[in-house]
């Protein structure tokens, strides 16, 4: 079985790519803690709430350092609430468990006028899992994300593909990046607790194949 690190940063190639669902599946599969340091769009319900509802009963959800109401970029959400995100004040929770950290959007999403999500990953020296999903342009977005992480010295544990299989695109991405496919999450119209459990078991089996 592939040995995933004790801290995992889940990032995506775009917004609404399935990071939260995959973070929940990882938490379920690894019996891990969950933490989303920066959240926006809380008026519609937080990603932490989603993970809590869909994961095992005693999952530890660490509180966000920043949580904003409007579903916009974190730096803009902060400005709308007359505050500023200070990355150096965001401290990683201490835990004996594996910690799944979910980013906000992609790696170049701004936190303030100077810092982006990538800076957090670098500062925390946390390996990343890249979530990819097929759409026109996704090969470019996936490879660019991986190239940026590599250039910043971030270890990439692998890629998880979300949604319908697209073998030709996935093969190209994996060959170009020389990264393993850690798993595939099936497409579903509605995410329920059973779906998370089923996909977590499937992911565990996929990881055991390495």
Give mean pLDDT, residues 142-170: 97
Domains of the chain listed by start with CATH number: 7-208 (3.40.50.300)
Choose the catalytic residue: 6, 36, 79, 190: 36
Model's pTM, two decimal places?
A: 0.96
Task: For residue range 37-52, list pLDDT tens digits in order.
Answer: 999 988 778 999 999 9
The runs of H, that is alpha helices, within the chain are 19-30, 47-54, 74-80, 117-124, 138-151, 167-177, 193-208
Instruction: Specify the pLDDT at position 207.
Output: 84
Is 36 catalytic? The answer is: yes
DSSP 88: G
φ, ψ for residue 47, nearest 5 deg = -65, -35
Task: Please tell me the number of Cα atoms within 13 Å of 142 on its side-chain side.
Answer: 29
Tell me whether strands 181-185 and 61-62 are parallel, antiparallel or unpaired. Answer: unpaired
Instruction: Specify the pLDDT at position 93.
Output: 97
Give mean pLDDT, residues 8-22: 96
DSSP 74: H
Average pLDDT of the chain, as a whole number: 95
Q: Which residue has the higher pLDDT, 131 or 1?
A: 131
| Residue 21: pLDDT over 70 | yes
| Residue 2: pLDDT over 70 | no
Q: Are 120 and 111 in contact (CB under 8 A)?
A: yes
What's the CA gap between 58 and 158, in Å, rounded? 28
Task: For residue range 159-185, list pLDDT tens digits in order.
Answer: 999 999 999 999 999 999 999 999 999
Length of the chain: 210
Task: For residue range 56-104, list pLDDT tens digits in order.
Answer: 999 999 999 999 999 999 999 999 999 999 999 999 999 999 999 999 9
- In sign, the C-alpha dihedral spanning 109, 112, 116, 121 is negative
């Amino acid at each position: 079985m592939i040995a995933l690190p004790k801290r995992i940063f889940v990032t995506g190639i775009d917004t609404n790519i399935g990071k939260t669902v995959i973070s929940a599946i990882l938490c379920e599969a690894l019996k891990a803690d969950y933490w989303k340091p920066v959240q926006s769009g809380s008026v519609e319900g937080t990603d932490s709430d989603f993970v809590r509802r869909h994961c095992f009963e005693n999952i530890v959800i660490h509180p966000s350092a920043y949580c904003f109401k409007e579903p916009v970029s974190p730096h803009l959400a902060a400005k709308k609430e007359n505050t500023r995100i200070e990355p150096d004040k965001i401290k990683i929770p201490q835990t004996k468990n594996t910690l799944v950290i979910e980013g906000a959007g992609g790696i170049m999403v701004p936190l303030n006028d100077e810092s982006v999500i990538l800076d957090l990953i670098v500062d925390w020296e946390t390996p990343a899992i890249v979530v990819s999903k097929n759409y026109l342009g996704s090969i470019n977005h996936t490879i660019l994300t991986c190239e940026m992480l590599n250039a910043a010295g971030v270890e990439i544990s692998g890629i998880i593909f979300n949604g319908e299989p697209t073998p030709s695109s996935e093969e190209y991405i994996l060959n170009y990046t020389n990264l393993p496919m850690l798993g595939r999450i099936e497409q579903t119209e509605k995410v329920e607790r059973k779906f998370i459990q089923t996909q977590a078991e499937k992911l565990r089996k996929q990881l055991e194949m390495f």
